[in-house]
Amino acid sequence: MLKVRLKVLGLSCSQTQSGAYALILSEENGNRRIPIVIGGFEAQAIAIGLERLHPPRPLTHDLFINFAKTFGITITEVNIYHLEEGIFYSELVCMTNGSYMKIDARTSDAVALAIRCNCPIYTTEQIIDKAGIVFNAVDESAKQPESPKADAEPQPSATGTDKYEKLSVKELKKLLNKSISNEDYEEASHIRDEIQRREGEK
């Protein structure tokens, strides 16, 4: 069966379900996108992985990765192998002692783990034909998914009028570390955006 490699394009608020998010997976060598509706906690876990935030204590997916490493288990790839009634089914392909095994997983968990262990994500041509949305060049510029966030709160303005405008980059970085220590990942995301915006203007 022909496999299609995917990459995580981003997260955006779901337009159909309140409090839900759309995980956008993109065909690596093509212009098709697969939106997968996930919950807020799942979106937060993926956002933390994408933004490379390091909590002071391991979260569930970090614990899973640490556990696997400790016992010599490597996640080699994630496969989204089935789609039925709008539900995507996934599996982790793992290797231990030279043998491969497959473990059933929710797609949101599988993607969160793939991000943390930097392993490829695949689906089938049949699934991407069925669930994929084709974006042309105009769509791409007009409908770019939002930056991955763990919440749906309004993001700090890039106009210099937000609550961080009086803080220096050094002070922002201190505040970022404090937010991560307090496990306030929503605030950490906002602060990181502001730091990246300022550094991008240099």
pLDDT digits over 137-195, tens only?
444 443 444 444 443 333 333 333 367 888 888 888 888 888 777 766 667 777 877 88
pLDDT of 43 strictly over 90: yes
Instruction: Return the domain boundaries, the chain.
Output: 3-142, 155-202
The CATH homologous superfamily to which domain 3-142 belongs is Bifunctional nuclease domain (3.10.690.10)
Task: Read off the pLDDT of each residue in 28-36 and give the average, rounded to a whole number.
Answer: 90
Is the pTM above the cut of 0.75? Answer: no
Query: Rounded to whole angstroms, how far apart are CA atoms 22 and 7?
Result: 14
Chain-wide mean pLDDT for the chain? 82
User: Which among 149, 153, 146, 157 has a CA at the least distance from the CA of 185?
Assistant: 149
What is the rounded distance in angstroms from the CA atom of residue 106 to the CA atom of residue 34? 16
Query: Is the model more confident about 110 or about 51?
Result: 110
Per-position DSSP letters for the chain, written without gaps between them: --EEEEEEEEEEE-SSSTT-EEEEEEETTSSEEEEEEE-HHHHHHHHHHHTT---SS--HHHHHHHHHHHTT-EEEEEEEEEEETTEEEEEEEEEETTEEEEEEEEHHHHHHHHHHHT--EEEEHHHHHHH-EE--HHHHHHSPPPPP-SS-SPPPPTTS-STTTTS-HHHHHHHHHHHHHTT-HHHHHHHHHHHHHHHHT-
At 111 the pLDDT is 97
